[in-house]
Every structure is written in C-alpha cells, then in structure tokens.
A and B are shown apart, each in its own frame.
Chain A
Amino acid sequence: MAGLVDPVELAGRTAPSRVLFGPHETNLGAGRSLGARHVAYYEARAAGGAGIIVTETASVHPSDWPYERAPLAASCGPGWGAVAGACQPHGTLVLAGLGHCGGQGSSAYSQSVLWAPSPVADVVSRELPMQMGQAEIDAVVDGFAESARSAAASDLDGVEIDAGSHSLLRQFHSGVTNLRTDAYGSDRLLLTREVLAAVRGVLGSDRIVSLRLCCDELAPWAGVTPEHAAEQVAALADRLDLLVVVRGGPFSASAYRPDSHTPPAFNVALCRWMRDAAAGRVPVALQGSVVDPDVAAAALDEGVCDLVEMTRAQIAEPRLVGLVRQGDGTRVRPCILCNQACHVRDDRNPIVSCVGEPRSGHETLEPSTEGVDGLSVEVLVVGAGVAGLECARVLSARGHRVRIAERGERAGGMVRTAAVGPGRERLARLAEWLIAECLLQGVAIDTGTEVTAADLDAARAAGTDVVLATGSRAAPLAFPVDGSCAVVDAPGLLAGGADSLPPGAVVVHDPIGGPIGVGVAEWLAGTGRDVSLVTQDQVAGTLLSRTGDLADANTRLQRAGVRRELRALVRGVEGSRVVLEDVWTGERRRVACGVLVDCGHRLPEEALPLRRPDVARAGDCIAPRSILEAVLEGRRRAMEIATGVGGGGSPVPMGVAS
C-alpha cells in the first residue's frame, strides 16, 4: 500500500506525495488576481512537501464574483505562472482551481444578477438568481475552457473543477436547485459533461483534470445523495484524472469544512463508497477535516482513497509532509479545527491564517522563526499559557536556554478552559503540542512557581531576558448579586468540574457571544442540568458566524434543551432569580438562577507587569484576547530577543515594544 509520502502519478505527472492542499479562500489577492502573498503562501506548502496544490478557486466568468477578493480566472494567468514557478521546483504539482458559484454568489461586487439553473433563492443570502438561458450556459462552458487554456499557458499541471458545496455545477446536479424542464434538467450532469469535455479538449491528456464533486448535499428530500453521486462518479470517472469527494450544499453550508464539532475525517465512508463506484478508473482523494497524519495514512492503507486532502492541517503546519517523511510526524503542529483564523469567507476580508501558526498567510510580513542564533542567552518566561509556551518554544529552537515559571499546577493556561464543551476538546492539543515541543527542546517548565518583582530584578541583574505572559483574571460582575445564587467563572467551573456546581438552575451569562459561553451551556445541559444562556444578541453565540458554527450551535443548544434568553441584559440576581431586561423595549423578566456562570470578558493579570512596566509582555496580560494574539505576541517577543542578540532575520514589523 502506498503511504502518505509516496509519490503518485496523474496524467503522466508525478506528485511527490499523496497530500493535497485544496482550494480555499485566502483574501491574499491583489484585486481579483493572485498576488505575491499567494505565491509565498503556496510556496511554503510546496517546500513543506505538499504533493498537489490547488490554487484558490477562480471564477471562470465575470458573472461570478462571490467575494471581494475572489480570483477571476481571466486575471490569474501571471499569478498562476508565479505560483507554478515557486512550487514546481519542489516537485509539487499545481492545479488551477476553477469554478462558478452560481446562485450562491453575491451581486454586491458585480452589481449584476446571479446566474443559476433555476430561480431558487440561496438559503443563506436569500438572493433570487435568474434562470440561465442557453447563452449563459454556453458562456460558462467557454469560461471553463478559456480558463483552462490560460492555466496551461501559465505552465500549471492542470485544473480542478469545482462541483462542490458552493458551485454552479452542483446546483445543476441537485433537485433542490435544478427545476429545469429542458435537457439540462432531465440530464442534470449534462453541463458538467460539457465542461469536462471542453476542458479536456483544451488540456489534452497530459495535463490533469480533477473534479471536486459534492457527493452528499445532506438534503435527501431532493438533493444529491450518495446513491446519486455514485452513479455520477461512474459516469464521469473516465473523463477525470482525479476525483475529490466532498459534501455539503445549500442547507448545510458549514458541512464542507466544519469546525471541531464534527469529528475529523468525516467523509471516510462516503469516500470509500465513491472509490468503489470509480472502480479504479480514477484516483480518489479523501477530503473533510483530515488533520492527523496517522488518520490520513490509515485511510490510504485501508483503501478509502488514493490521496488525502489536508488543507487546514497544512495551514497549521506548512512542513507537515516533510516532518512525516523524516519520521517526525508527532512533531506536526496540530490543526485544532477551530476555524478561527482560516475560515475567511467573511465580509471583513480577513487574511487566511492560523491561531497556532500566525505566519500562515503572512509569509511576506512575519519573519520565519527558523534558524539558530550565534549567541545563546538565558530567558525567563513568566506564565505557561500559549503565549509563554510559544515564546519559549521559539527561543529554545533558536538555541537559547529558557525557563518557564508557571504559578498554576499545570501548563497550558486558558486554552484548557476554552476547550470546554462537546467538540471543543481538540483545542487543548495546541497547548499539549507546545508543551511537548518545549520539553523536547530542553525548556524547563516549573509549575507551582510564583514569580515576584524581586525575582524579575534578580534575573535581569544576572543578565537573563524576561518575558511576562501572566494571562488574565476574572472581571468583576457588572450587576449586583444578592447572594442568593452561586457565581462561578468559566475557568473556575472547569477547575472544579461540573460536579462541583451547587444544585439549581444554571444561568450562563455570555456577553461575548463566543464559543466559551456556548460550550459551557452545551456541556452543562449534557450533564442533565437545567441551563439558560443569556445574551444581549438576537441569537446565541453571535461571534460563531466567523467559524461557520453559528447556525449549528443554535441548533445544538435547542436540541440540548438549553433555553436561549436572547436580547437580554442582566440587571442583577435577586432571590435566586436573574433579572433580565430586553435591550430594545426595556421590558424586564425573571429567570430561576441557582448558579450563575460568568463567561464574560476578562481583565489582564497585570500585577507583575504594572510593577515592572519596562519588561516585555505577551498575550492576555496586555489585553485578554484569543489564541492567535497570544501565540503571535509570544513569538514576537522571542524574535525580539533573538534579533537583540544578533540572531535571525529582520526586526518584527509593526511590533509593539511593551
């Protein structure tokens, strides 16, 4: 059986490994073309051993402009050429992602009507598309062909055609969105066959034609089911050099690349089914939260697939394949499937990145941490949360002698608290990986160790560099509590466990609208407690829209029996009842409350920083924020120390010297 790092041949071209870096939104573009930041981003994955890279899906026709920085194939030629020039020297095959979002696009940028097989409004945008006529259909087929011609002229190894969860081709495949009465309705695969024929006609047999195919829309009443998809795969297999099996559709926007509430490698059964349908006529790639190299290797071993897409895993760890190849698979920085920084189909146009590897997407701006400094120094890091751990990890890798002093009994900090709730356990893996890397590199982690200002002075007097990463503390409640209920914050709850909570109805107060409040509510409801979740917003967990979990989270909460007290301000607790006030009408209501769980914002733990304000700081002790900021600042402080001793690289851009 071929392994993850073994080569694979497609259309006579050899990919150096069986790991695919799939197409995804990055917002790295310059206008609608691929820019220098794209090139650096893809090159890092090629250098890290990726077998095939599919570039960000480009619209094959101007009628498609789904998000502001969505590439337009007609503008991508030079960018594709630059990506190929950067990646192919590493042996990596580069395919142009080509697609059209149809009715799932947006008219906001084009100011033009959306095209779709039938006038069926998208569930999410509610925008009604026009029904495509033959002229529009022909334009799309031509668009795919012309785009493929441009990709070949840019010396790419082929193209991948999008018939996945957000695609016009899938809309034609599906009874949910294709209500046509013409040939494209009676034969829903007709358009896809026309597109494939046109693209093959342009590319010939020595370039790769890959198809990303939705094989389950999760809408069995009218949508594409695995049974339909198996027939489609059988019908299309001979036309393809690679098939990537995916799922998701109009009613399941988040199912394509869900966060950790969906177990990893969720498409294994579906992929096996499609590989059987393909009957060896086309190699099949497994997609779907495959983030662990061992899981990927097992899928290859067990005949689930011939290749594995590991997109988010390589956003988190660009060197993934290389590490596996050299036997260091356990040192791969884990993807925790949080979707916090890599899920960037978002009106704000965030740049793709990773909470654990914040250089991702910023390869041209943030310095590499690699390299060893000429002079080794002693460093004391105060606090073993992710900020302190990342700082220590980078410094120790660069040859410095680092000691972390942690007040608590356990390293890992707030990430362990954030890992509360069903489906959120994976978050802790980042802390565990950082701890393991630190220990492997000789960092001393002294838990149960309080550091005083005098200790800082002594360390500095001895020439030791010091970084403070002391984290956060609970903020006082913003409302009065009369003592009739217990009050606990999220870290306190986690430390004591659910059994430590006094009896009575639980009220979770989540003014952040974030994952922790939702996770706590789900977790406690799962232990059989009566739970209300209070938010000032119109839905629970507002900020989860950024990770794609908003609708799913509200569904889970309702199924778990959590009462959502929406648009409610907490005015106080009186007589074991929490007083809620409607944000708009001012109307008050009361809800039983035996235990109040505070999931609100926290304050910096700055007792030590305030006493020694000239000492460098990182993470929550500057201002309590998310994992990404903590890791980024821990790393920046490390690189500032490294630069200070004549070590690697340029000064940290835009860094704030604390």
Chain B
Amino acid sequence: MSTGARYRHLFTPLRLGPVTVQNRIVFSAHLTNYAADGLPTEQHAAYYAARAAGGAGLIITEEHSTHRTDWPYEKLIHGFNPAVVDGYRRITDAVHAHDVPILAQINHNGGQASGLYSRLPVWAPSPVPDPLFREVPKAVEPHEIREIIDGYALVADHCMAGGFDGIELQCSHSSIVRGFLSPATNRRDDHYGGSLHNRARLLLEIVDAVRDAIGGDRALGVRICGDELIEGGTGIEEAVEVARLVDATGQVDYINTSIGVATATLYMIEASMQVPPGYALFIPSAIREAVGVPVVGVGRFKDPLQADRALAEGLCDLVGVVRGQIADPDFAIKARSGHATDIRTCLSCNQECVGRMGLNRWLGCIENPRTGRESTMLPFPEKRSKVVVVGGGPGGLQAAVTAAERGHRVVLFERNDCLGGQALVAATVPSRAEFFDIARNLIVAARREGVDLRTGTEATAEAVRAERPDAVVVATGARPARPWWAGDHRRVVDVRDVLEGRVHPWGRVVIVDELGFHQATSTAELLADRGCEVEIVTNGMVVAQDLGITLDLETWNVKAHAKGITQSVDLVPMGVADADADAEGQEGGGDGPVVLTLQHHPTGTDRHRGCDWVVCAVHQQPDDALWRELRAAPFPVHRVGDCLSPRRAHAAIVEGHRVAVAL
C-alpha cells in the first residue's frame, strides 16, 4: 500500500502561521493527571513522545495554569511557577526528536474551581457558582484582571523558555475566558460585561499580551466553545462572532473548537459511544466559513477514514484525535502506511481515560495497558517460551498478544467458536456495539503476531499438558452466580442468560442491579426495545451509578425515559415466590410469574413486585476449575481476569499483559 494513498487530505501539510504541520492529525489538549507537585514529569515527556513517534501532526499539551488562584484539581501543572521550565524542555526535546511541533495550552479555569488546594478565593467575572464545584467565586476587580493577563504573559514566557512551538489559549470549556465570554456567567456591568465586544475584551487583551510575549515566530491558537449546551450560555452564532473577533486581531494562527462546559455538560465534550461520531463538526464548519485561519474540528474521531472525510467535506482543516491516540499512539503512522486495520481502535467507553480523570487518577486506557506507563521500560524476556493460554476473552487474548509480541510461541484455546468472551456478550446490545472493538483489536493483533488460535476447542488439563508448555495462562472467565434470594425459580435469570439468548423474557421484567454499571442498563434497553415493561431496582442510591464516571448517565436516563424504563433505588431483594402461590407464600421453584420481595432499607419496609421475569445483574463466580486442576503442575500456571475474580474488562487486560510481560 502506498503511503497514505487512500487518504487524500489527512497527510497533507498545513501552515499554522510560522509552524508547519506535516499532517492534519492533532493530539489535542487533555488532562492526564501525570503532574507531580505542580510540575510536569518524565511521564509527560514519554507520553507525548510516543504520539509524536506514532506520527501525530501536532501535539498540544494539557493545560498549564496561569495563576495561583487557579487550582481546580490536584495534579494541575502550575505554569506560573518558574520551576516548570525544565520539565517543559524535557517534553519539547522528546517530541521534537520526532520532528513534530508541540504547543502548550495555557489557561485559568476561573470559577470552574474551588479553593480546596489553593486555599484562596476562586476568581471569576461574577459571583455565579459553578454547577460542579458549587463555590461562589470572587468577582475580579480591575487590578485582578490585570493580574490575570500578566499571568498569561508570564506563562507564555515560561513556555518559550521551555521550547514550545507556540501557545494555545483554552477559552472553551473550563476557563475564565469562557466565563467572561458566556452570558451565563458574566453579569458584569463594567466594560468587561454586557455586549459581546465587552465580554470578549479579556480574550483579546490576553491575545495581545501573549503574542507580545511569544513574538512572531511561534504559533498562537485560540480554542473556542461552539455551544456551551447550558441555559443562557454561548451558542454557535455568538461563537462564530468570537472567532471573527479573534481572526480580526491578525495575531492568531489557528482556531480550535470544542463543545460543552466541562463542569456542566462534560458528557458532550468527551462523548461516549452513545453519541454519534462527528457530532460536534457543525462548530468548525460554521467557524471556518467566517475566518481565514485554519480551524480544528473535534469529537469522537475513531478512524482515519472518518477524519479524512471531514477534511474532504471542508468541515475543518485539522482533526483532533485524542482518545484514538490514547488507545493507539501509532494511529497516524498505521493509517499512513496502509495498516489502518491494525489500529487499536478507541471504543469511546471512557472507562480508564475520562473515567479516571474525574477521580484524580492517572490517565489510562481500557485496552492499552501501556498508556500512562510510557516512561517505564518493560524488561526484556529472558528466554523464548512456549505459552498456552486458555480462554479467548480480553484477558486471554491480551496475554497471548503480549506474549507473542515479545517473542514467545503461543497457543490459545477457546471453548467457543468465537473469540471475544464477554466483550462479545456486552456488545450484543446495539448501543454498546462499539465495545466489541476491544476484542476485534486483540483478535487482529493475535493473528498478526502468529498466535495459534484454536477456537471451538475445550482445553482439558490433559490437553494443556500435552502442549508441554513452559507456562500456562488460565483466562477461563466467569459464570453467573445465583443470588441466595433467587431460590431455583426458573423465571429468575442472569443478564448473561438474556444477552446470550438462552432465555427470552416477556411482559413485565424487573432487573436487579447490584453492579451499578452497563450490565443492567444494557439489558433493560434491549428488553424494552423488545416490548417488555422494564423496571430496574438497585440496593444503591442511584441506578447504574458508575455510568456517571464514563459520562453515560445522562444519555442513559434520557433513553430510559423514552423507553418507559423505570428505576427504583434503596431496595434489597429478600426473596421470590410464585405469583400464584397461596397466602403462605413459598420458595420459588415454579416456572410461572414471580413475586419479588424487596426491602426498602432506609425505612425497613417491604415492597413487592409481581412480574413475569426477574433478571439479575449481580456478581459472577470465577470459572477456575482448570486452574484448580493445573495449579500443582510442574510449569507455572497464572490466572488472569474473571477466573481470578470477576471484574471489568480493564482488569483482565492489565492482568493478561502483566503476566505475559513477566514470562
């Protein structure tokens, strides 16, 4: 395949003022939580360098704070501290080694913060509390506005000393500049409030000050929010006007875009697979018509073809691919060299990237165990081994792929005809179909690496021994466990029974959710679509609570409402009985309709639900029979994933990788 031939636009160079990018793929700014004590780390350098080595056209770092009043999350880089320059230099040297330009994003988060870390009042245009942080900010006074602008200029100086090729001003989704631009948060009556021209005054003053600081041979970009998706906030028409004002300064080399407010409508900024790709392209396309400088489009670009098409259609001049390059640092190089099918496609599951950010944890990736660990070298394998992997779910596949990549000979047994394990099951629900990419990526890699894949083959202990392995990885997964209260009633089933097609519930269905994640909501959606009347009950305070961290909660609730799915909380299942049992009640054991008894634990009162089926989203049990048989074998036997303890896919991936690296 000729280099990038199938993409007519993606791999063409473009000038951003004084900086030329070799292709249109941007690793846009995003939080990583890799900073320590307010300073950039070796991990930052290794992380960005990996994407530069992988062929990204332009890298924009995570934000650097411009002022000590700005400290919304613990691991923020304090750009205003002169000590950052050494770390900046490490980053820019590492990226420049691959001939890729890198810009620094600088920002003050304004009122989208609290004083928890800074022990200082939060600064904002007006005393309007942020919906997430809920702290009333101090309305900045004129001398404080001057201090803000000086802070941007100071940090721009630090960035220049640190070797960056330019600066991006984040004025979009979490910024004091956004705060001033937005009528929702700017209620000032001085010349920084009121008309758009006034609200944009701070932005334009910062543009002046920063351009002054960086001179003419570095690039300056401005990132603008095209639609805040909040009441009374900035919409696309005003965003276009702001872009015009920015362009008219003649000092800005490109405009980046975003959608949503980080502390109110984050689920549209880092949209999960529930939101269609390309959903935010109306923003760059509208801005592009109004300005002369290049415009970056963002929003769930998962594959190079889709990115090339956005360029071809003239919707944007560059494409932000963040999660796509978190999952696969070699996204660009694989596309360019004609190996796009080898790209470890992002699932947009948000579990270990976005989901870890809100919890103050380092950025990772559900399917790339090296993300967040780039600065740690892996040991070289001591010898070439024969490895037998049992189980073709994500854990087993990951172990097989990593072992094969490291030179081991690998045989993988999978009992079923298809590889993928429970990822396959999870992806049977239409709105979760992209989750299957976790398995698809691994299957492609396993084939590429020459893993001997034996599907439809039960691995008995005897069969494993017959392979004369040096090591065995048992990844045999889990099977549903029947909760104590379910008795043996045939109308009480597991979500896997439903998703794997063993049962087909009808009528009124109660789903008992003890997992708080996609299992219950996916099944509910599926059954509601098949015409069932569905209620989810949980012992928790909220149904599917963990959808909050993956930003799926909003879309789930909208869908649940539309599909008539009801949700009830604080309910503990206590038992089931046949609906036609006599007044004494009896142990479930029948095969007719069910009465489920639930205790409302805050009040200690019992509730009853008559229904046709009860579906359990509860913890499974390890399927570890093979491990028990083999544990005393003369070769090492490792368990990974659910057969060790049933958890989410990331645990299986991490363990599969870890075991393979240690071989």
**A97-114, CB under 8 A of B: which get 1 and which 0?**
000000000011101111
In chain B, positions 87-124 with a C-beta closer than 8 Å to chain A are 115-116, 118-122
**B603-631, CB under 8 A of A: which get 1 and which 0?**
10000000000000001011000000000
A215 to chain B, nearest CB (A): 23
> Given the complex, which residues of A lie within 8 Å of B537, measured CB to CB?
none
Is A632 at the interface (CB under 8 A from chain B)?
yes
> Given the complex, which residues of A lie within 8 Å of B644, measured CB to CB?
113, 130
In chain B, positions 49-82 with a C-beta closer than 8 Å to chain A are 68-69, 73-74
Complex contact A128–B647 (CB within 8 A): yes
Complex contact B645–A554 (CB within 8 A): no
- Report the stretch among A191-199, A346-354, A398-406 that lies at the interface: A346-354
Complex contact B645–A113 (CB within 8 A): yes
Complex contact B74–A559 (CB within 8 A): no
CA distance A601 to B557 in the complex (A): 27
Complex contact B68–A654 (CB within 8 A): yes
B365 to chain A, nearest CB (A): 12
Complex contact B120–A654 (CB within 8 A): yes
Complex contact A625–B360 (CB within 8 A): no
- Report the stretch among A77-85, A119-127, A284-292 that lies at the interface: A119-127
When C-beta atoms are compared, the residue in chain B nearest to A613 turns out to be B141
B483 to chain A, nearest CB (A): 12
Is B278 at the interface (CB under 8 A from chain A)?
no
Which of A121, A514, A559 counts the most chain B CB atoms within 10 A?
A: A121
When C-beta atoms are compared, the residue in chain A nearest to B120 turns out to be A656
Is B137 at the interface (CB under 8 A from chain A)?
yes
Is B135 at the interface (CB under 8 A from chain A)?
yes
> Given the complex, which residues of B lie within 8 Å of A68, measured CB to CB?
360-361
CA distance A654 to B115 in the complex (A): 12
Complex contact B138–A622 (CB within 8 A): yes
Residue from the list B74, B515, B654, B655 in contact with A126, Cβ < 8 A: B515
> Given the complex, which residues of B lie within 8 Å of A119, measured CB to CB?
619, 621-622, 645
Residue from the list B73, B120, B557, B602 in contact with A555, Cβ < 8 A: B602
Is B458 at the interface (CB under 8 A from chain A)?
no
Which of A584, A604, A613 counts the most chain B CB atoms within 10 A?
A: A584
Complex contact B645–A348 (CB within 8 A): no
Is B226 at the interface (CB under 8 A from chain A)?
no
Complex contact A127–B647 (CB within 8 A): yes
Is A129 at the interface (CB under 8 A from chain B)?
yes
**A514-551, CB under 8 A of B: which get 1 and which 0?**
10000000000000000000000011000100000011
> Given the complex, which residues of B lie within 8 Å of A347, measured CB to CB?
359-361
A117 to chain B, nearest CB (A): 13
B148 to chain A, nearest CB (A): 13
Is A602 at the interface (CB under 8 A from chain B)?
yes
Complex contact A129–B602 (CB within 8 A): no
> Given the complex, which residues of A lie within 8 Å of B646, measured CB to CB?
128
Is B420 at the interface (CB under 8 A from chain A)?
no
> Given the complex, which residues of A lie within 8 Å of B361, measured CB to CB?
68, 108-109, 347
> Given the complex, which residues of A lie within 8 Å of B557, measured CB to CB?
567, 584-585
When C-beta atoms are compared, the residue in chain A nearest to B631 turns out to be A133
> Given the complex, which residues of A lie within 8 Å of B515, measured CB to CB?
126
Is A513 at the interface (CB under 8 A from chain B)?
yes
Beyond A558-B602, A585-B557, whether A623 also contacts B122 by CB under 8 A is yes
Is B127 at the interface (CB under 8 A from chain A)?
yes
Beyond A623-B121, A623-B136, A654-B118, whether A603 also contacts B127 by CB under 8 A is yes
Residue from the list B134, B516, B602, B655 in contact with A554, Cβ < 8 A: B602
Is B480 at the interface (CB under 8 A from chain A)?
no
A139 to chain B, nearest CB (A): 16
Complex contact B141–A129 (CB within 8 A): no
Complex contact B136–A602 (CB within 8 A): yes
Is A647 at the interface (CB under 8 A from chain B)?
no
CA distance A544 to B135 in the complex (A): 15
> Given the complex, which residues of A lie within 8 Å of B546, measured CB to CB?
126
Is A512 at the interface (CB under 8 A from chain B)?
yes
> Given the complex, which residues of B lie within 8 Å of A442, measured CB to CB?
none
Residue from the list A350, A538, A625 in contact with B541, Cβ < 8 A: A538
Complex contact B127–A656 (CB within 8 A): no
Is B542 at the interface (CB under 8 A from chain A)?
yes
Complex contact B134–A512 (CB within 8 A): yes
CA distance A582 to B115 in the complex (A): 30
Beyond A126-B514, A654-B68, whether A601 also contacts B134 by CB under 8 A is yes
Complex contact B360–A107 (CB within 8 A): no
Which of A109, A358, A538 counts the most chain B CB atoms within 10 A?
A: A538
When C-beta atoms are compared, the residue in chain B nearest to A536 turns out to be B131
Is B554 at the interface (CB under 8 A from chain A)?
yes
Complex contact A108–B359 (CB within 8 A): yes
A489 to chain B, nearest CB (A): 15
Complex contact A349–B118 (CB within 8 A): no
Complex contact B654–A111 (CB within 8 A): yes
CA distance A602 to B137 in the complex (A): 11
CA distance A97 to B140 in the complex (A): 46
Complex contact A625–B136 (CB within 8 A): yes
Complex contact A632–B119 (CB within 8 A): yes
Residue from the list B116, B122, B558, B619 in contact with A348, Cβ < 8 A: B116
CA distance A551 to B557 in the complex (A): 22
> Given the complex, which residues of B lie within 8 Å of A622, measured CB to CB?
121, 138
**B515-528, CB under 8 A of A: which get 1 and which 0?**
11000000000000
What are 10 sample pairs from A and B whose C-beta atoms fall under 8 A apart?
A108-B356, A108-B359, A121-B514, A126-B514, A130-B645, A348-B116, A559-B602, A587-B561, A601-B134, A622-B121
3 nearest CB pairs, A to B: A130-B645, A555-B602, A585-B561
B interface vs A, CB < 8 Å? 68-69, 73-74, 115-116, 118-122, 127, 129, 134-138, 141, 356, 359-361, 514-516, 541-542, 546, 554, 557-558, 561, 570, 601-603, 619, 621-622, 644-647, 651, 654-655
